[in-house]
Amino acid sequence: MNAEIMDGTAVAAATLDRIREDVEAFTTEFGRRPVLATVLVGDDPASHTYVRMKANRCKSVGMESRRIEIAATATTEEVVATISELSMDPDVDGILLQHPVPEHIDERAAFEAIHPAKDVDGVTRTSFAAMAFGEPTFHSATPGGIMALLDAYDIELTGKHAVVIGRSPILGKPVGMLLLQRDATVTYCHSRTKNLAEIVNTADIVVAAVGRAELIRGDWIKPGAVVIDAGYNVGNVGDVEYEAASGVASFITPVPGGVGPMTIATLIQQTATAARARQDAATGGRELVPEAELR
């Protein structure tokens, strides 16, 4: 079997085309463009590249992006203060804190300074809890992107066994919960899991979210399984042994060009949603997030 490639680049491009139309309508209606503020702490070159890519995508759909750079030597209090200001700034619709932040900074405290109405990267406790309850909210961008990609390829989820390898709060845990909400039977694996190969071999859907090059071997994959590789490792290598896995899977995401572009598209989509929800709230309409009233 030769797996069909799940082309995240193409699906993301189509999504961005739709968002561009929404943004045009928004701009005509309200006389302003949606604004995403990106916050970068420190000088990690990869983080700079990610933030630049996100800002470029923003511009490509007609949104504005505002870039805030904070020195690597900043304290948690300083980072929290900057993000809190953005949370209160009426001109800002969405806030992205690029992570990881330098180790001495309390990342959770920094995330929690993002107002839930502007949490377009889905990193706050409020967004996570709403997602866990199955309520409308902003999803963590990578899990949201993975779900959108599965839907774009009409992958049946109901009753399927999904095995998620990884349990981080921004990726593994939320993607498993979103799959559960769609009636998949979900198993989580992590660094203490025994018999990883045997468990992966029972999966109809494999989501690799680890950050270890080719940890998931091709011969672990059950014939016909759908393989989503969110991992990104040095040398453009995913968490799955791609060539071997493509020989047995029915669908597979490439690295790069699979999950990565979908993550950015989800961020941009959620920024457009935040802008409209805030604008509706300002004019007395219904809000997406209950706390949308600016403090």
Angle at 177 between CA 174 and CA 180, to 5 degrees: 155
Q: Which is nearer to ligand NAP, 12 or 292 (CB)?
A: 12
Query: Mind spelling out the 3-state secondary structure of 9-61?
Result: HHHHHHHHHHHHHHHHHHHHHHCCCCEEEEEEECCCHHHHHHHHHHHHHHHHC
Binding ligand NAP (rule: CB under 6 A), the pick from 22, 152, 161, 232 is 232
Query: Of 93, 98, 239, 270, which is the active-site residue?
Result: 98
Binding ligand NAP (rule: CB under 6 A), the pick from 179, 230, 272, 274 is 230
Query: Mind spelling out the 3-state secondary structure of 229-253?
Result: ECCCECCCECCECHHHHHCCCCEEC
> What's the half-sphere exposure (Cβ side, CA atoms, 13 Å) at 229?
34
* CA 75 vs CA 48, 72, 85, 104: distances in Å: 20, 9, 16, 8
Enter the DSSP assignment of 216: B
Going edge to edge, which strands form the sheet with 35-41?
64-70, 35-41, 94-97
- Closest to 241 measured CA to CA, from 210, 268, 217, 274: 217
Number of residues this chain uses to bind ligand NAP (CB under 6 A): 26
Q: Which two tokens stand for residue 286?
A: 């219904």
Q: Does 57 bind ligand NAP (CB under 6 A)?
A: no
**Segment 236-275, which members bind ligand NAP (CB under 6 A)?**
259-260, 263
| Minimum gap (Å) between residue 32 Cβ and ligand NAP | 29
Q: Does 277 bind ligand NAP (CB under 6 A)?
A: no
Is 7 an annotated catalytic residue?
A: no
Is 17 an annotated catalytic residue?
A: no
Q: Does 211 bind ligand NAP (CB under 6 A)?
A: yes
Is 121 an annotated catalytic residue?
A: yes
Binding ligand NAP (rule: CB under 6 A), the pick from 34, 116, 143, 172 is 172
**Segment 173-192, which members bind ligand NAP (CB under 6 A)?**
189-192
Q: Which is nearer to ligand NAP, 117 or 200 (CB)?
A: 200
Q: How far apart are CA 179 and CA 186, in angstroms?
A: 7
Q: Does 212 bind ligand NAP (CB under 6 A)?
A: yes
What is the SS3 assignment for 207?
Answer: strand
Q: Does 168 bind ligand NAP (CB under 6 A)?
A: yes
Q: Does 6 bind ligand NAP (CB under 6 A)?
A: no
Q: Which is nearer to ligand NAP, 182 or 190 (CB)?
A: 190
Q: How far apart are CA 53 and CA 267, in angstroms?
A: 12
Query: Of 93, 119, 121, 204, which is the active-site residue?
Result: 121
x/- track of binding to ligand NAP for residues 107-146 (CB under 6 A): -----------------------------------x----
Q: Does 210 bind ligand NAP (CB under 6 A)?
A: yes
Q: Which two tokens stand for residue 190?
A: 């992590």
Dihedral sign of CA atoms 104, 120, 257, 228 in order:
positive
Q: How far apart are CA 182 and CA 205, in angstroms?
A: 13
| Minimum gap (Å) between residue 57 Cβ and ligand NAP | 12
| Minimum gap (Å) between residue 49 Cβ and ligand NAP | 12
Binding residues for ligand NAP (CB under 6 A): 142, 165-168, 170-172, 189-193, 196, 209-212, 215, 230-233, 259-260, 263
Residues noted as catalytic: 54, 98, 121
